[in-house]
A and B are shown apart, each in its own frame.
Chain A
Amino acid sequence: MKLVIAVIKPFKLDEVRAALLAFGVQGMTVSESSGYGRQRGHTEVYRGAEYTVELLPKVRLEVLVDDEDVDDVSDVIVRAARTGKIGDGKVWSVPVETVIRVRTGERGQEAL
């Protein structure tokens, strides 16, 4: 099993979620996060004083998938989240040792 993690632009969440649902992904965990990549932050001006805002608001999305679905799920996310402009985010995956469904105690693939 793998955990696919995506950090995307917040306004793209709905599209990504819909695309994953259409692909057959059953659930996900979403959290608000902040960060920056190559686009860095932006500047804001308050009464003439300039502030550099380094960290931009992002959405972090986590999906547990079967090993064989990793590439497809990652592609679905990338397609849905892309605007083509700098700051679209990143998608990566990591191996997962065990997964247990809390309600039933099912383990491994059964729990996905």
Chain B
Amino acid sequence: MEPFVLDPGNTAWMLAAASLVLLMTPALAFFYGGMTRSKSVLNMMMMSFGALAVVGPIWMLWGYSETFGTNVAGIIGDPFEYFALHNLTDDGSLMAATGVPATVAVGYQATFAIITVALISGAIADRARFGTWLVFSGLWVTLVYAPIAHMVWGGGALSGGGKIAEWLSTPIDFAGGTVVHINAGMAGFMLAIIIGKRRGFAKEPMKPHNLPFVMLGAALLWFGWFGFNAGSEFAADGTAGQAWINTLTATCIASLGWLLVERIRDHHATSLGAASGVVAGLVAITPAAGSVDIVGAMFIGLAAGILCALAVGLKYRFGYDDSLDVVGVHLVGGVVGTVLIGLFANVARDADGAVTSYTWAPDGALNGLFYGGGLTQLATQTVVAIIAILISGVMTVIIGLALKYTMGWRIPEEHEVEGVDVTTHGEAAYDLEPSSGSGASGVLAGAHSKTEEVKA
């Protein structure tokens, strides 16, 4: 093992990138919060903040170790190796090759675990018990996120040297198409089914209450996503630049693609469609960000924008209440990006196999079908997507059902009607009647008037 040599430039970039990715979770709170009805916006935003609060410490205690610790049976890292970050050392750490210390790697990866859990919450808007959600967050990051991240990025079964790499080729997941988006999308899908529909789903209008929040959230997500994708290079170099411009361009085209579908199908190009297209494009380019050229990025963006715009209608056809389209955007977008790598991966190598292009892929990964790599990488990417769907689906069902029959997932029906904000959190998002703030009905601080006990 070569001794660790600090690279201040790369380290500075990775600290900045980690901060950018952390911003994505509050951004998601706005993106999701604007899409709910005004009586449940606080709960929606609290699910993102709650996931952040729970997953952050867990990551430091055992999450990082479970993901990047010494491989156990190809599916998980040793959770005790770096428990509470004991024994953490820069030598041979995750980003040692680019001169970034282990602490920075821990922090950067923490932000990925946090956003992945938060993404799931969009599928269960308006109706979930907050306590159950917090427990779910802790269990899910431990039993689903960390193992899958280990398999793909931590030297497990889905990374170079794993079984898939032996049989076919090394899978490419530059920044988290399988680990983050397919994973969260599938988990949201299963939870939506386990928890059941909102009262009045597909009968009563449930239109977004604040589209400027949605646009603000999409904008901040996009901003943070540059840290997510370009940061996944672990260095401030040309490949990070390639990931950055791909993240810009695929997203632009995806937004246009979504609007095109809407204009033809619904006769209106909507702001919600533009924001959704932005997120769909970001999701799809994530696994491919550093491994496709700019033309490939455009095609991936176009496919994501169109397919996700069509996919969000499926919940009405099949009758599952994926409230804010975690399936339509993250599962479908994640699959689109992951599989299309098999068509568009384009990495040039010299005779010794060293990468000579701005784009990059792990050793053992092949170019896509359109760039002379044949069908092998397409098969690899498809298999990996299916495996991620299966693991995430099965594990989420187990956790979801266990919580359903112990803590319970649903708030009481009358609380759902009145609004989860008031009944669970004891707050209302908006005070639009000035008189209620200072009127006779107000109660002074400290003089609690308990009107209704909410079972935790």
Asked if A and B bind, the verdict is yes
Contact B262 A48 (CB under 8 A): yes
Contact B309 A48 (CB under 8 A): yes
Task: Decide yes or no: A45 and B316 within 8 Å by CB, A51-B205, A51-B207 being known contacts.
Answer: no
* Interface assignment of B86: CB less than 8 Å from any CB of chain A: no
CA distance A48 to B272 in the complex (A): 10
* Interface assignment of B273: CB less than 8 Å from any CB of chain A: yes
* Interface assignment of A44: CB less than 8 Å from any CB of chain B: yes
* Interface assignment of B455: CB less than 8 Å from any CB of chain A: no
CA distance A46 to B273 in the complex (A): 8
CA distance A56 to B258 in the complex (A): 29
* Interface assignment of A47: CB less than 8 Å from any CB of chain B: yes
List the interface of chain B (C-beta within 8 A of A). Answer: 205, 207-208, 262, 265-268, 270, 272-273, 276, 309, 312-313, 316, 325, 328
CB distance from A51 to the nearest CB of B (A): 5
CA distance A48 to B316 in the complex (A): 10
Contact A45 B270 (CB under 8 A): yes
Identify which of B207, B309, B316 contacts A44 (C-beta below 8 A): B207
Contact B205 A47 (CB under 8 A): no
* Interface assignment of A49: CB less than 8 Å from any CB of chain B: yes
Contact B276 A47 (CB under 8 A): yes
CA distance A46 to B316 in the complex (A): 13
CB contacts (< 8 Å) of A45 on chain B: these are 262, 266-268, 270
CB contacts (< 8 Å) of B325 on chain A: these are 47
When C-beta atoms are compared, the residue in chain A nearest to B205 turns out to be A51
> For B205, B265, B272, B328, which residue has the most chain A Cβ atoms within 10 angstroms?
B205
* A interface, over-half SS: strand
CA distance A48 to B267 in the complex (A): 10
CB contacts (< 8 Å) of B309 on chain A: these are 47-48
Q: Give the top 9 A-B pairs by smallest Cβ distance, nearest first.
A: A45-B266, A51-B205, A47-B312, A48-B313, A51-B207, A46-B207, A46-B272, A45-B268, A46-B208
CB distance from A3 to the nearest CB of B (A): 24
Identify which of A44, A46, A48 contacts B265 (C-beta below 8 A): A48
CB contacts (< 8 Å) of A44 on chain B: these are 207
CB contacts (< 8 Å) of A46 on chain B: these are 207-208, 270, 272
CB contacts (< 8 Å) of B328 on chain A: these are 47
CB distance from B214 to the nearest CB of A (A): 10
Contact A47 B272 (CB under 8 A): yes
Task: Convert A42-73 into 0s and 1s, putting 1 for each residue whose CB lies closer than 8 angstroms to a CB of B.
Answer: 00111111111100000000000000000000
CA distance A52 to B312 in the complex (A): 19
- Some 7 contacts from A to B, beta carbons below 8 A apart, are A45-B262, A45-B267, A45-B270, A47-B272, A47-B276, A47-B309, A48-B262
CA distance A48 to B208 in the complex (A): 13
CA distance A44 to B266 in the complex (A): 10
Contact B273 A47 (CB under 8 A): yes
CB contacts (< 8 Å) of A53 on chain B: these are 205
CB distance from B320 to the nearest CB of A (A): 14
CB contacts (< 8 Å) of A47 on chain B: these are 272-273, 276, 309, 312-313, 325, 328
When C-beta atoms are compared, the residue in chain B nearest to A48 turns out to be B313
When C-beta atoms are compared, the residue in chain A nearest to B325 turns out to be A47
Contact B207 A48 (CB under 8 A): no
Contact A48 B205 (CB under 8 A): no
CB distance from A12 to the nearest CB of B (A): 23
Identify which of A48, A50, A51 contacts B312 (C-beta below 8 A): A48
CB contacts (< 8 Å) of B312 on chain A: these are 47-48
CA distance A48 to B265 in the complex (A): 8
CA distance A47 to B313 in the complex (A): 8
CB distance from B208 to the nearest CB of A (A): 6
User: Which residues of A in the span 68-97 have a Cβ within 8 Å of any Cβ on B?
Assistant: none
Q: A46-B270, A47-B313, A51-B205 are in contact. List 10 more A-B contacts (CB 8 A).
A: A45-B262, A46-B207, A47-B272, A47-B273, A47-B309, A48-B262, A48-B266, A49-B316, A50-B266, A52-B205
CB distance from B41 to the nearest CB of A (A): 15
CA distance A92 to B7 in the complex (A): 79
CB contacts (< 8 Å) of B266 on chain A: these are 45, 48, 50
CB distance from B282 to the nearest CB of A (A): 17
CB contacts (< 8 Å) of B268 on chain A: these are 45
CB contacts (< 8 Å) of A48 on chain B: these are 262, 265-266, 309, 312-313
CA distance A47 to B276 in the complex (A): 8
CB distance from A68 to the nearest CB of B (A): 37
When C-beta atoms are compared, the residue in chain A nearest to B309 turns out to be A48
CA distance A51 to B316 in the complex (A): 14
CA distance A107 to B325 in the complex (A): 61
When C-beta atoms are compared, the residue in chain A nearest to B315 turns out to be A49
CB contacts (< 8 Å) of B205 on chain A: these are 51-53
CA distance A52 to B205 in the complex (A): 8
> For A46, A47, A49, A52, which residue has the most chain B Cβ atoms within 10 angstroms?
A47
